[in-house]
Amino acid sequence: MASLRDIRRKIKSVKSTEQITRAMKMVAAARMRRSQGAILSARPFAVKMEGLIRDLDAVYHARGAADAGCPESVRGFLESPADGPAGLILITGDKGLCGAFNTTLLRAALDWLRARERRKTYLAVVGRKGRDFARRLCGEDCEVVTELVGIFPKVGFHHAEVLGKAVIDTYREKGLAQWDVIYNEFKSAAQQRLVSATLLPVAEITPAPPGEQVPEYGFEPDYGRLLQALLPRFVKAQLYRMLLESQAAELSARMNAMDAASKNAAELRESLNVAANRQRQGMITKEIAELVGGAEALVA
């Protein structure tokens, strides 16, 4: 049985842990509110641009590449070789203490790699957890093209530009069939959703609804030059939104994990206090019994 001193030492340790987890919860909550505002501001632009690209992609497939007047640099965004290598953009956190946030992502990435075990693959990883995962598991058929570490919780569009440039260059130079992306989407302060989607080619991320008529547009200066300027911007805008989604989701997961840890620490501290009180009461009772026994012995 633990002594009273050991129990008090444990109470002090648990109380210190509780203070730390409460402070981490408050910090995560404050950062999450700012990140939530950023993602709510970025979503409308990304959604509108996605709709525009879907319409332009419909025009491309309706007219054909030659009739649409698309340069070769643009066609790669809209079409890709079916048997080419595959790429994965994995967006994780830099730190732990956020529940199953990183574990879920790494498990999904592992399933993705297993499904393409005998195929050349390329990885673009964001976050220290994803970087460590890639370094452990990448073999001869897997190549890491870029790493972004330490960008959370201060994600900016310049990070998306760096990531987007690496993704687009690899897509063109290596002849990739597709770039997939795995990340956590922010739904609410209490919920995140694992997303596995295709970023390139564009037709895979913006499929037109069946039966939808191709819109009639007039283009100035011309259709090809418009796509040449718009498509790289579209890819980077989507990556920026995904980085913001992941950032807000990670902070909300950390806030919830620290809240649960604080509650568990409080419960443990209460149970230790009860054990200490019982131990102290037992010692007092024992001392009283010894005093009474000594007094009775003197009287006798």
The residue ranking higher by pLDDT, 257 or 206, is: 257
Question: What does the H/E/C string look like for 112-174?
Answer: HHHHCCCCCEEEEEECHHHHHHHHHHCCCCEEEEEEECCCCCCCCHHHHHHHHHHHHHHHHHC
Highest averaged pLDDT of the listed ranges 55-64, 271-280, 285-294: 271-280
Q: Which carries the bigger pLDDT value, residue 154 or residue 300?
A: 154
Query: Do residues 112 and 185 touch, judged by C-beta distance below 8 A?
Result: no
Of 2-6, 206-210, 262-266, 271-275, least confident by mean pLDDT is 206-210
Both tokens assigned to 31: 């950062």
Strand partners, 121: 86, 142
Contacts of 189 (CB under 8 A, 6+ apart): 32, 36, 252, 255, 256
Whole-angstrom distance, CA of residue 70 vs CA of residue 85: 24
Q: Check residue 105 and give its pLDDT.
A: 92
What gap in Å lies between CA 259 and CA 273, rounded to an integer? 21
Supply 227's token pair: 């796509």
Instruction: Say if residues 94 and 150 touch (Cβ distance below 8 Å).
Output: yes
Beta bridge mates, 193: 185
Average pLDDT over residues 198-203: 78
Give the per-residue pLDDT at 210: 57
Least confident of 42-46, 62-66, 189-193: 62-66
Report the largest interatomic distance among the alpha carbons of the chain, rounded to a whole angstrom. 119
pLDDT at site 125: 93
37 token code pair = 């505002």
**What DSSP state is assigned to residue 209?**
P
Element (H or E) spanning 26, and its range?
A: helix 4-63
Q: Cα–Cα distance between 86 and 142 in angstroms, integer?
A: 10
Kindly report the length of the chain: 300
Q: Model's pTM, two decimal places?
A: 0.81
Of 104, 99, 22, the closest CA to residue 254 belongs to 99
The closest of 94, 100, 90 to 195, measured between CA atoms, is 90
Least confident range from 112-116, 182-186, 220-224, 231-235: namely 220-224
Q: In this predicted structure, what is the pLDDT of residue 212?
A: 59
End-to-end Cα distance, the chain: 36
User: Which tens digit of pLDDT belongs to each residue from 40-57?
Assistant: 888 888 788 887 777 777
Q: pLDDT of 112-163, one tens digit each?
A: 888 888 888 899 999 899 888 888 887 777 888 889 998 888 888 889 999 9
- Calpha distance 6→14 (Å, rounded): 12
Residue 147, strand partner residues: 125
Q: Which residues contact 186 (CB under 8 A, 6 or more apart)?
A: 35, 36, 39, 192, 245, 246, 248, 249, 252
Give residue 207's pLDDT: 52
* Structural domains of the chain in order of their starting residue, each with its CATH number: 4-21+258-299 (1.10.287.80), 33-207+217-256 (3.40.1380.10)
